[in-house]
Amino acid sequence: MYLGLVSLRDLVLVRLGVAINLVLGQVVAALLLPVYLDSLGTILVAALVGPRAAIAAGLTSQVLAAVLSGNFSWLPFGIVQVVIAVYAAGAARVGVFKRLRTALPAGLLLGLLAGGTAAPIAYFMFGGATAGGVTAVTTALRAIGTPLPVAVAIASMGTDLLDKTIAFGLVCLILRNVPSHLAARFPVLAR
């Protein structure tokens, strides 16, 4: 057992999920999209292995993102990764990732959940000043008279809705395109 995971394969998959979370920002930046996709690896691990492995992937990503960027003040947002891991594992269990038409709405709902979890952390711990883009939206909303807690919640959810919908759509595409010889090694895909 490694970190409560069942096998060495799970551990290697968790490592891969963490790397995906940390690397995809580069791809997104090239496309100038207002999303992060920093939880795609967590969602993929949740779908392939399960919630425990996904939680390990999410929390490790948060720690390593802090190590790589130097911004350790973002560590409390690890709670959001736990929410994403548990939700994505549940969604995979009920077969949400089999079709895009079920994956996209489920991703939208996760956006609401993740944004709803991130907003209180952003408001109470950081006074609404977190990532640049989100804070710009918060500031604009505040400038037109929106109360700060509402502005923080709208800004957090706005970004997360798009981010998680895209992430769920991509995970659905990835799972549908896994070659058959690889799919046979993952019980979830072999079903």
Minimum distance, C-beta of residue 70 to other proteins, in the bound complex (Å):
4
Q: Which is nearer to other proteins, 60 or 117 (CB)?
A: 60
> Residue 46 phi/psi, 5° resolution?
-60, -40
Rule CB under 8 A: which of 37-56 touch other proteins?
Answer: 37, 40, 44, 56
Q: What is the closest distance, in whole angstroms, from the C-beta atom of residue 63 to other proteins in the complex?
A: 7
Q: What DSSP string runs through 159-187?
A: HHHHHHHHHHHHHHHHHHHS-HHHHTTSH
Pick one of 82, 100, 113, 170: the residue that binds other proteins (CB under 8 A).
Answer: 170
CB of 83 to other proteins, least distance (A): 20
> Is 113:87 a contact under the CB 8 Å cutoff?
yes
Residue 164's region, left for phi above 0, alpha for psi from -120 to 50, else beta, is: alpha
Stretch of 20-28, 77-85, 90-98, 101-109 contacting other proteins, by CB under 8 A: 20-28
Contact yes or no for 44/174 (Cβ under 8 A): yes
Q: For residue 23, give Cα distances in angstroms to 13, 38, 40.
A: 15, 8, 10
**Residue 96 vs 166, nearer CB to other proteins:** 166
Among residues 39, 62, 64, 97, which is the contact residue for other proteins, using CB under 8 A? 64
How is residue 141 written in tokens? 């909303």
Cα angle, residue 86 at apex, residues 187 and 156 outer, rounded to 5°? 135
Enumerate residues 65-94 that contact other proteins by CB under 8 A: 66-73, 75
**Rounded least distance, CB 20 to other proteins, Å:** 6
For other proteins, which is the closer residue by CB, 33 or 94? 33
Q: Within 13 Å, how many C-alpha atoms sit on residue 39's CB side?
A: 35
Which residues here bind other proteins, judged by CB under 8 A? 1-3, 5, 8-9, 11-16, 18-20, 22-24, 26-28, 30-33, 37, 40, 44, 56, 60, 63-64, 66-73, 75, 125-129, 132, 135, 138-139, 142-143, 148, 166, 170, 173-174, 177-179, 182, 185
